[in-house]
Amino acid sequence: MLLTTLGARAQTSTAIAAQAPSAPLTVTLKDALQRARANSVDYQTAITEAGIRHDDKVIARAALLPSVSYRSQYLYTQPASIGAPAQLGVLDGTPRFIANNAVHEYVAQGIAHEDLSAAGFAAYHHAAALEAVARAQAEIGTRGLVVSVVDAFYSLAAAQQKLANAQRALDEANRFLDISRKLENGGEVAHADIIKAQLQANDRMRDTIEARLSASQARLNLAVLLFKDFNQNFTVADDLSAPENLPSHDEVVAAAQKNNPELAAAFHALRAADLDVFSAKAEYLPSLSFDYDYGIDATHFALHTDGARNLGYSAAAQLNLPVWNWFATGAKVHQASLQRNLAQVQLDAAQKKLLSDLQSKYDEATAAQRELDILRQSAQLAADSLHLTNLRYRGGEATVLEVVDAQNTLTAAQSALSDGELRFRVALAVLQTLTGEFNP
């Protein structure tokens, strides 16, 4: 009986533990980036395209190298007849068709084949250039994903800070309402102060509700990026207020010239267009092909027939000279030249856009960084002002309007500080889409 009771209690404890929610997962920015890369459709598409282009280069390189194959074949040909008509004649053992070698022919050969042409070499280098373009596009996708994750990650952190600030402001408003009521009971303030304090508490309650809604929406936005299965049971490691350095302008320019993927993509696209022109012109040039066959091509599937050795080899070389194709090659050259001119224009445009974007994004990050110091100072001053105003109100030296104004000022200053920190983080991430990571 005792064992049964203990067993039942153990099962009940197990069931309760199974129903209890698991502890929330703590996600750092690094973890968020890794999870987003695994789940982002755009990122995986870019990576897949880069992999396909790499295989295209492997295929183009293989076309330049000798290929080896094995052929096993049996050929039967109707034999010729002696006399006329043929159906009344005697078979003489020779094949009826002059293109065939014997009535019974067995082929078992290894075949080596090689094609050499300028177009083949151009195709390989063209595939390599397209692979470089695809890698650059994948890097563009990677950096764009980083911006999205940084924005969503720190938006949630900022929303949580605002929710905490709203809750603090609500607590402060409720404490002030309680103080006002006590002062009214003592005959020190008018009932109008109670009304104002109650309105202030109501406003702060509304702010708290809205802040909680904003935090919930920010959590949903980040959850969509991070998890394969929809999951909201996580928290973010809030390092929004952690110091982050902005490199000098010269360092940023040097990094952009070296690591900008848009510029790299445009450059390799121009290189591919140049190779297209060369490939089109290569059709004016001759091409070579070589074949080497080794094995059996005999009337019996054997190494020897009637004392003769059947194993042997044959080799062939072929030179192809283009003569006339009704100006088709010239049209291909013209098409490729037009594409090359367009690629050159796109490269020039990418260079100008890089300089413009670099200056714009650096100015944005610089302004956001400078404003942070002001916002931090304002938040501290607002907190000090509220503390002093509360003391003055209790001493009868300040009005209720001054207290409410100080409360509102602190709430606005803290909210602005969270927005300023978020702005700087996002501006820094956007700048790094042009330059790569500052501190890899």
**β-bridge pairing 304-305 and 67-76:** unpaired
Q: How confident is the model at residue 87 (pLDDT cuts 50, 70, 90)?
A: low
pLDDT (0 to 100) of residue 21: 58
Q: What was the pLDDT predicted at 77? A: 83
93 — pLDDT class (breaks 50, 70, 90) = confident
Averaged pLDDT for residues 152-162? 92
What is the pLDDT at residue 235?
87
Number of neighbours of residue 115 by Cβ within 10 angstroms: 18
Residue 13 scores a pLDDT above 90: no
Of all residues in the chain, the percent with pLDDT exceeding 70 is 92
- Cβ-proximal residues to 342 (8 Å cutoff; 6+ apart), any chain: 273
CA 181 to CA 187: how far, in whole Å? 10
What value does the mean pLDDT of the chain take? Answer: 86
CB of 416 closer than 8 Å to CB of 399: no
Whether omega for the bond prior to residue 85 falls within 30 degrees of 0, making it cis, is: yes
- Assess whether pLDDT exceeds 60 at residue 410: yes
Band of residue 333 on the pLDDT scale cut at 50, 70, 90: very high
* pLDDT at position 385 over 80: yes
User: What pLDDT digit, counting tens, does each position of 268-321 carry?
Assistant: 999 999 999 999 998 899 999 999 999 998 888 888 888 788 888 889 999 999
Please report the pLDDT score of residue 211 as a whole number: 93
Distance, in Å, from the CA atom of 103 to the CA atom of 74, rounded to the nearest integer, reads 10
Bigger pLDDT: 194 or 84?
Answer: 194
- Please state whether the predicted TM-score (pTM) of the whole model is above 0.85: no
Looking at residue 16, what is its pLDDT? 44
pLDDT tens for residues 104-118? Answer: 888 888 999 888 888
Q: Sorting pLDDT into bands at 50, 70 and 90, what band is 84?
A: low
Lowest pLDDT segment from 127-136, 192-201, 326-335, 405-414:
192-201
Distance CA 377, CA 361 (A): 25
Short-list 438, 266, 229, 232, CA closest to 340 = 266
pLDDT value, residue 345:
95
- Residue 191's pLDDT band, with cuts at 50, 70 and 90, is confident
What is the predicted pLDDT for the residue at 239?
85
List pLDDT tens digits, range 48-63: 999 999 999 999 898 8
Indicate the pLDDT class of residue 160, thresholds 50, 70 and 90: very high
Please state, for a pLDDT cut of 90, what percent of the chain lies above it: 42
pLDDT higher than threshold 50 for residue 6: no
Higher-pLDDT residue of 231 and 278 is 278
What local confidence, expressed as pLDDT, does residue 413 receive? 92
pLDDT of amino acid 438: 59
